[in-house]
Amino acid sequence: MTARILDGNALAQRLRADFKTRAEALAARGTRPGLAVILVGEDPASQVYVRNKVNACAQAGFHSVRIGYPADVDPQLVFARLAELNADPAIHGILVQLPLPKHFDSDAVLKAIAPAKDVDGFHAENVGALMQGHPRFIPCTPYGVMKFLADAGVDPRGKEAVVLGRSNIVGKPMAMLLLQASATVTVCHSQTRDLAFHTRRADILVAALGKARFVTADMVKPGAVVVDVGINRLPDGKLCGDVDYAAVSEVASAITPVPGGVGPMTITMLLANTLEAAERELR
């Protein structure tokens, strides 16, 4: 079997064209979706992510502000800026790029973002709303995965879904969304015994561990849909996912590549959340 490749760039492009049209409709009513991105420090990967987010906003016709601070900034300055952004009517979404430097209490920072502008969906209030089944903002990466599945015609209802990883930003919300879509969900982590036993039962396998090519062909059920969230840098500088793409493609029925799979969808869903926040305000 050679898997169908789920192309994140193509899906992202289609969705973003729709967002641009919706942003134009809002502009005609006097509102431009606005996103503020706060970056503390000079981490090169974070700088790239923030740049991509700001560029994506510009392409979709959104307003965006990039706010940078040196790594040793006094956290009180960041809190004060967050309070201003919370009150700024031109800003519908606020995002603080993680990870923050060690002297920051990340939970306190996330809590300082107004829940109605928390487009990453990390505020406890939004996490709780997701858990209760009426989400306000869905965290962007798992939101992108669900869009992928829907676009590929994969209905999780009644399927065995296995999520590798239990982080707050990917694994846990991913599991919750699959559960809400009526899959039977298993969440695996570093303490899981006999991981392959679980992965081989998966009709839908989502890998979010951060371990290069960890999921091998013998761990995958023939015909499974495999979604690779991982982004790992190899010694030669190239990127790869958590799945052994070449070998697993021979077993799975559908697979997302890295790069060009979940990555472009994550930023796309950030745009979706920002747009939805702006539209909600006008309702």
Q: Determine, following the binding rule CB under 6 A, whether residue 52 of this chain makes contact with ligand NDP.
A: no
Helix (H, G, I), strand (E, B) or coil at 73: coil
DSSP state at residue 275: H
Q: Determine, following the binding rule CB under 6 A, whether residue 135 of this chain makes contact with ligand NDP.
A: no
For ligand NDP, the binding residue among 31, 126, 266, 274 (CB under 6 A) is 266
Q: Determine, following the binding rule CB under 6 A, whether residue 209 of this chain makes contact with ligand NDP.
A: yes
Q: Determine, following the binding rule CB under 6 A, whether residue 188 of this chain makes contact with ligand NDP.
A: yes
DSSP string over 234-261: -TTS-EE-SB-HHHHTTT-SEE--SSSS
Q: Determine, following the binding rule CB under 6 A, whether residue 173 of this chain makes contact with ligand NDP.
A: no
Task: Give residues with Cβ within 8 angstroms of 158, minimum separation 6.
Answer: 182, 183, 184
- Considering 118, 120, 228, 242, which one is annotated as catalytic? 120
Residue 242 in contact with residue 207, Cβ under 8 Å? Answer: yes
Toward ligand NDP, which CB reaches closer, 76 or 191?
191
For ligand NDP, the binding residue among 16, 22, 63, 166 (CB under 6 A) is 166
Distance CA 113, CA 95 (A): 8
For ligand NDP, the binding residue among 52, 106, 167, 216 (CB under 6 A) is 167
120 tagged catalytic? yes
Helix (H, G, I), strand (E, B) or coil at 4: strand
Toward ligand NDP, which CB reaches closer, 91 or 262?
262
- Cα distances (Å, whole numbers) of residue 31 to 26, 199, 278: 5, 46, 8
For ligand NDP, the binding residue among 191, 193, 235, 236 (CB under 6 A) is 191
Spatial CA neighbour of 228 closest among 205, 200, 196: 205
Nearest-approach distance from CB 185 to ligand NDP, in angstroms:
15
Site of tokens 């991982």 = 230
For ligand NDP, the binding residue among 23, 262, 269, 275 (CB under 6 A) is 262
Backbone angles phi, psi at 38, to 5 degrees: -105, 130
Q: Which residues bind ligand NDP (CB under 6 A)?
A: 141, 164-167, 169-171, 188-192, 195, 208-211, 229-232, 262-263, 266
Question: Which sequence positions are flagged as catalytic?
Answer: 53, 97, 120
